[in-house]
Structure 1
Amino acid sequence: MANTFSLILVIVTLVTGIIWALEKFVWAKKRQQKLDEILAQTKELDPSLQRQVLPQPWWVENSVSIFPVIALVLIVRSFIFEPFQIPSGSMKPTLLIGDFILVEKFAYGLKDPVTHTQFLAIGKPKRGDIAVFRYPPDPSVDYIKRVVGLPGDIVRYSPDKRICIQPKGATECKIVPQSNRVRSDLKSNVAPMEQLDEQLGQVKHHILINPWRMDNPMNYKPRPGVNEWVVPEGHYFMMGDNRDNSADSRYWGFVPEANLVGKAVAIWVSFEFNRSPDSVLPSWIPTGVRLNRIGQIH
């Protein structure tokens, strides 16, 4: 859907831009030339009659009016910030269903909004970043996860739900620090969840785990039964903060650098959706606004 909207936005901008340019540099001058010829014969012409004699077509008028707005939207959305909605709970407790976030598009380089070809390298993902990317098995779908493994890393995920990372060139694997284990208000279908603090690189954040649920390593990719991943060059290993309720790199593999969309940096609005099943209103209508969540993502 996001890719389709980008394509439509580019086409509309291109069409209205061509009309705007033709109007400014060709059609308007021709109308003015005709008007000058009429004035030379009549000496004087009422402004209202001028518009009747040389009318501007409605589609030209509308295109000229909307082109600057559409062009500005295209530039901001394609190269600066793009809004996204959080559709699932895979990033709890950091991001909740109903959070609307801003994604910094230039954080990982500037790309053509249609072909996604990078034309200006600016930065690379850092460990701990929350990144939006095109889902590798289906690039038409956008995913959001946290960057855990960088190119060349060896990542291990143990049965006790701890991450061990051996950076490229290092000789030992270092366990990612976890602390402050507390019972969470968020619950799974079968048991209360536990919330911990985790330190990935320079980023300290919260994660959720279900102490009663165990991963099945046979579902891991690309090597079923093996809880170790060697991140290829030009790729990244992503995981959700809701560790036991996240379809991430453990299960579908690595994210190519070309699939990166941007870095999530802020929540601009957050809605609650707690409507009861017997409500006459549709479930997509918010029941409240979580004002305390607006701001930077922590």
Structure 2
Amino acid sequence: MAEKQGFVGSIVETFKTVFWALVIAGIFRTVFFQPFWIPSGSMKDTLLIGDFLFVNKMVYGYSYASCPSVRIPQVGVDIGAEDFCGWFEGYDDRLFGSDPQAGDIVVFRHPVTGRDFIKRLIGVPGDRVQMQDGQLYINDEAVVVEDAGTFTEIMEPQGPLRNQPQCANGAVGLGAVCEKERQIETLPNGVSHAILNIGNRAADNTGVFTVPADQFFFMGDNRDNSTDSRFPQAARGVGFVDRKDIVGRADRVIFSSAGRSMLAFWTWRSDRFFKALD
């Protein structure tokens, strides 16, 4: 009997250990940092497919979006932040909050799907944002850009989604060099970052977007391959993003995998370990 009780006791202790480990991990992820893995090329060449980073949640304070999501499509699990903290979603302000600054790389909840997106903040409340012939204008002034050579990569399926890059040098075959024009863009507040250009696209010319109060305007650095605030939510775009939907700021890549899985350590990009983000 004592042996049986000892066995049951060890099982109970194991469950208690796992339970408290999950509680601590949940608190850490909710309050401090959230892991984020880059699935698409919309932020090249700042962020590459397969980059793994932690999102700083403390820097902007907390809203319902700070609560974790658990999505495991293989087993049908789809629990969003609103399921954990829906009671908090109607609260318009942020606890211990501060607003992001133009140029920040920000993770936010998509206003419609609830999925996590990562883009660069371009327009803050009150700003007027427009694209003319691929040139960004903020408050009716052209943003300064400087040529910065050519971004190259190999034409091949990338990441677990096996997406192939888009190229400015035409339709190249598998294994060939894919090129994009690279420039350095400097926002009015002095923040500089790289952007890529593929060619003339519909989103290179837009109307004027006046950013409402308590909302923000985001764009991807890979300008011709990004679904962002230039596209309305009705067209499966992002549109303006509410302050309450902001999750946190990305500051540094922890490691990066060029393969189909971040567990495939032989595909890790050694030059991106702990790389600071501009």
- 1:171-207 Cα offsets, whole Å, 9 max, x none, are xx33221113422214734523111111123422111
Does residue 198 (structure 1) correspond to residue 168 (structure 2)? The answer is no
Shift of 1:63: 3.1
Partner of 1:124: 99
Corresponding position of 1:136 = 111
Question: What's the secondary structure of 2:42's corresponding residue?
Answer: coil
Could you tell me which residue of structure 2 aligns to residue 261 of structure 1?
A: 247
* Unpaired segments ≥5 residues, structure 1: 1-47, 167-172, 218-224, 274-282
Contact 1:94 1:241 in 2 (8 A): yes
Query: Cα RMSD (Å) of the superposition?
Result: 2.5
Question: Which runs of structure 2 are paired with 1:97-246 in the superposition (5 Å)?
Answer: 97-112=49-64, 113=67, 114-115=84-85, 117=88, 120-139=95-114, 141-159=115-133, 161-166=134-139, 173-186=140-153, 188-191=166-169, 192-200=179-187, 201-210=189-198, 212-215=199-202, 226-246=206-226
The residue type paired with residue 247 of structure 2 is V
- Structure 2 match to 1:44: none
- Kindly state the Cα deviation for residue 55 of structure 1 after the two structures are TM-superposed: 7.8
Matched residue type, 2:129 = V
Mapped contact 1:91–1:241 kept (Cα < 8 A): yes
Q: SS of the counterpart of 2:150?
A: strand
Deviation string for 1:235-275 (max 9, x for gaps)? Answer: 110000000111110013111111111111111110112xx
**How many percent of aligned residue pairs carry the same amino acid?**
34
Structure 2 unaligned spans of 5+: 68-83, 154-164, 170-178, 232-236
* Structure 1 counterpart SS, 2:52: strand
CA distance in 2, matches of 1:91, 1:103: 15
**Could you state the TM-score of these two structures normalised by the residue count of structure 1?**
0.68
Q: Work out which of the residue numbers 9, 17, 23 in structure 2 matches 1:65.
A: 17
User: Would you identify which runs of 4 or more consecutive aligned residues in structure 1 move more than 6 Å?
Assistant: 51-55
Provide the C-alpha distance between the structure 1 equivalents of 2:203 and 2:223, rounded to a whole number of angstroms: 13
Structure with more helix by fraction: 1
Q: Paired residue for 2:79?
A: none
Cα separation, 2, equivalents of 1:154 and 1:89: 26
CA contact (8 A) 2:168 2:180 kept: no
1:75 is aligned to: 27
Q: Which segment drifts farther, 148-157 or 91-100?
A: 148-157
Provide the C-alpha distance between the structure 2 equivalents of 1:244 and 1:110, rounded to a whole number of angstroms: 32
Give CA deviations for 1:21-72 in whole Å, capped at 9, x if unaligned: xxxxxxxxxxxxxxxxxxxxxxxxxxx95x7678864553223322332222
One-letter identity of the residue aligned with 1:123 = S
What CA distance in whole angstroms lies between the structure 1 residues aligned with 2:46 and 2:5? 62
Residue 248 (structure 1) aligned with residue 225 (structure 2): no
Shift of 1:226: 4.7
Q: What's 2:80 paired with?
A: none
* Residue of structure 2 equivalent to 1:18: none
Larger RCO (alpha carbons 8 Å, 6+ apart):
2
Which residue pairs with 1:21 in the alignment? none
Normalising by structure 2, report the TM-score: 0.73
Cα displacement (A) at 1:74: 1.1
- Distance change in 2, residues 1:68/1:266 (3 Å): same
Deviation track 1:44-103 (CA, whole Å, cap 9, x = no partner) reads xxxx95x76788645532233223322221121111111111000000000000100110
